[in-house]
Chains A and B, each alone.
Chain A
């Protein structure tokens, strides 16, 4: 900590830019009062170490967490969400070291479930992935600031992403539980509806799926399957897990056909994929085995290669505004990471610790 003899707010904004303690946008200069309010919301004890953030392995104490949250523009009541998200990101299964350092454009997507969404005013409706809501914007931004400053994910240094993505500024939504015809995501995974949870998945940005024609489940889902079935995204060549966000109008159409969440995930899994011949470029560049795909896939030209190994690797959410027949497919990074679901207090619904071989993936 340094003391400047005279400081004006605008000087501090420039000072933080000069130190490269920013995501490229102006930060809110942290003051002792604002930091103290966030530390209080975290339970006091500013030196308490919450996590170690790779690849730099910087220590994320409550004080450092609070400084970054204030700089990102967070209110103190967002603190449990940001903390739980960081605990999820820093758990071994997620492999944040790889997510931060890879040449791929991956960024963690945070999805929040349960009562805390409403308590802190998160947006789960119109423009859910877009701008305009303080909680969504600044929670995601605080996570990115921590990944940059504490985790050392500086572009070109420890972050080697070739292209990056806009999701590397902020990538945080809430599920629209109120409008969804199905049980919320965290309830599907064994939690109580009154629990609040955070879910993180290392992923590419959303790919829009339009279908303004279909009046049945198959029609809507076939459009999502079309978006999933390409050889261009990372799931196609590296397996892993992905997310599908169904817009409320599409969800209503699917539900009217009597389909459950389970039916939807199974149908997507059964029908999305590519032939191995497409993934191996028809041997144009020599015989390719692809060691990133599960070993139990057939490496034969006509073999169907699913987008992810099982229907449970498709993480399904309902989000967005009530008008518009749109959904989104969100490809994951690949088998190198496993998504993590935590209760808002940071505890896990299962005892998963090491998921290196995929046996205890979410």
Chain B
């Protein structure tokens, strides 16, 4: 007998959100991961994208910790208030 030590994964398959056909006027949410310089990069990208693509308003959010999951309430708020979300990690 060979025993596989890995255990099985029992998780729902998640798919990426549908891509919007037109970006004009869409609300963009920026999630700051709280790494030292991450927000500077994200802010610059969001501002540049908003200008170039005629996006709608930018709204900024912040995680409590860069390593921990964002709180479910925060994720729900971002989902409700944004059409596009920009996030990432970086020092």
Inter-subunit contact B7/A53 (CB<8 Å): yes
CA distance A67 to B33 in the complex (A): 38
Inter-subunit contact A95/B5 (CB<8 Å): no
A138 to chain B, nearest CB (A): 15
Mark interface residues in A11-47 (1 if CB within 8 Å of B CB, else 0).
0100100010100000000111001000000000000
Binds B, one of A56-64, A129-137, A206-214, A314-322: A56-64
A79 to chain B, nearest CB (A): 15
Which of chain A's residues have a CB closer than 8 A to the CB of B2? Answer: 1-4, 7, 12, 15
- Taking the complex as formed, is B65 at the interface, i.e. its CB lies under 8 A from any CB of chain A? yes
Known: A98-B67, A98-B68, A102-B67. A31 touches B1 (CB 8 A): yes
Which chain A residues numbered 57 to 87 have a C-beta less than 8 Å away from chain B?
57-61, 64, 67-68, 71
Inter-subunit contact B7/A336 (CB<8 Å): no
Which of chain B's residues have a CB closer than 8 A to the CB of A335? Answer: 65
- Chain B interface main SS type: loop
Instruction: Report the interface size class on chain A.
Output: 35 or more
Inter-subunit contact A149/B6 (CB<8 Å): yes
Q: A residues touching B (Cβ–Cβ < 8 Å)?
A: 1-4, 7, 12, 15, 19, 21, 30-32, 35, 53, 56-61, 64, 67-68, 71, 95, 97-98, 102, 145, 149-150, 288-292, 335-337, 356-357
**Extra pairs beyond A1-B4, A59-B10, A61-B7 (14, CB < 8 Å):** A3-B1, A32-B1, A53-B7, A58-B9, A59-B8, A68-B5, A95-B67, A97-B69, A98-B68, A149-B6, A150-B7, A335-B65, A356-B64, A356-B71
A-B contact pairs, 8 of them (CB 8 A): A3-B2, A4-B2, A7-B2, A12-B2, A21-B4, A35-B3, A102-B67, A292-B34
Q: B residues touching A (Cβ–Cβ < 8 Å)?
A: 1-11, 34-36, 64-69, 71
